[in-house]
Amino acid sequence: MRIFDRTVATALPLVPRPLVRRFADRYMAGETLEQAVQTVQALNAESMMATVDVLGESIREPAGATQTVERYIQVLETIQEKGLDANISVKLSALGLEIDRRLGSENAARLVGEAESRGIFVRLDMEHSGLTDATLEIYRELRDAGHERVGVVIQAYLRRSLGDLRDLAPLRPNVRLVKGIYVEPPAIAYRDPHTVNRNFVDLVEELVGAGSYVAVATHDPVVVDESLRLFDRMRLDPAAYEFQMLLGVAEELRRQLVDHGHRMRVYVPFGDAWYSYSVRRLRENPSIAGYVARDVFRSISPL
């Protein structure tokens, strides 16, 4: 199965764009804000929250970073106007972080300020390890400036993550915990799935013990079950945590969690940068690439 997954992921750049779009459609809301709104409204109707992401990262021109900020402000205005149960997620490289550290920081501050004025939370996504320090620094700067409606992401496969959480503990950060999908060397990241899972649950416990709000972002039923046992053992109020999942993935599991009274937030990406997003994400996560390919093959099979 893993060989098939890797083969699919490696071959993706050779696949025609219409077929890649077939891969992508289930996992993104579309190219327009209107489509994203419709997706969020459907999720809200099913008692699920959303986090909206404007597709695009690693922006190389300042004008592109400014355009990204403006598009996010449109998202914020729409969330407020339509009363959506949603927040936003943003990659700092889309705000110009890889162009200039100050540019990324200033754009992040502007966006967080715009969101805060509307009572909307902002999640700073985590990217490859080369941006980890800068992302955490900007998060600290925003908190030091008095912004409370902002959170960050920690990746369980990184060896440094426990230390990062302990450094952040005085802030009682709102953290989305993920396994991590970027390809990193063994010196930086754990490779063994069991070790990553164990570290994930240990980090959840660290966060809960420090009084932080934790967003458990995983589709892995083993990690979900371990986290639920931990919450039960610690008698944690359901308002103190949530689960998060990607749009179109593990839909049965997310419904089960909602039916049992757990908060669920679904990641809703949209925009015209869908092709690069799809190829990059599927190549970085062969298991999802294989999952999507099998799903497509089943949908077109006459049997």
Q: Assess contact for 133 and 164: CB atoms under 8 A.
A: no
- 87: which strand partners? 51
Query: Is the distance from CB of 145 to CB of 112 less than 8 angstroms?
Result: no
- The burial of 147, by beta-carbon neighbours within 10 Å (0-12 exposed, 13-18 middle, 19 or more buried), is given as middle
Q: Which of 123, 143, 176, 283 is catalytic?
A: 176
Dig out the tokens for 16 from the structure: 């025609």
**Amino acid at site 114:** E
Give me the catalytic one of 5, 53, 123, 125.
125
Q: Does 176 participate in catalysis according to the annotation?
A: yes
Q: DSSP label at 120?
A: -
Residues 6+ apart with CB under 8 A from 39: 29, 30, 50, 247, 268, 270
191 catalytic residue (yes or no): no
- The span from the CA of 103 to the CA of 87, in Å, is 23
List the one residue out of 112, 117, 62 whose CA is nearest residue 89: 112
d(CA 238, CA 260): 11
**Cα–Cα dist 257/261, whole Å:** 7
Q: What DSSP designation does 19 have? A: H
Copy the structure tokens of residue 56. 């695009």
Asked whether the beta carbons of 30 and 36 are under 8 A apart, the reply is yes
Which residues does the annotation mark as catalytic?
A: 125, 176
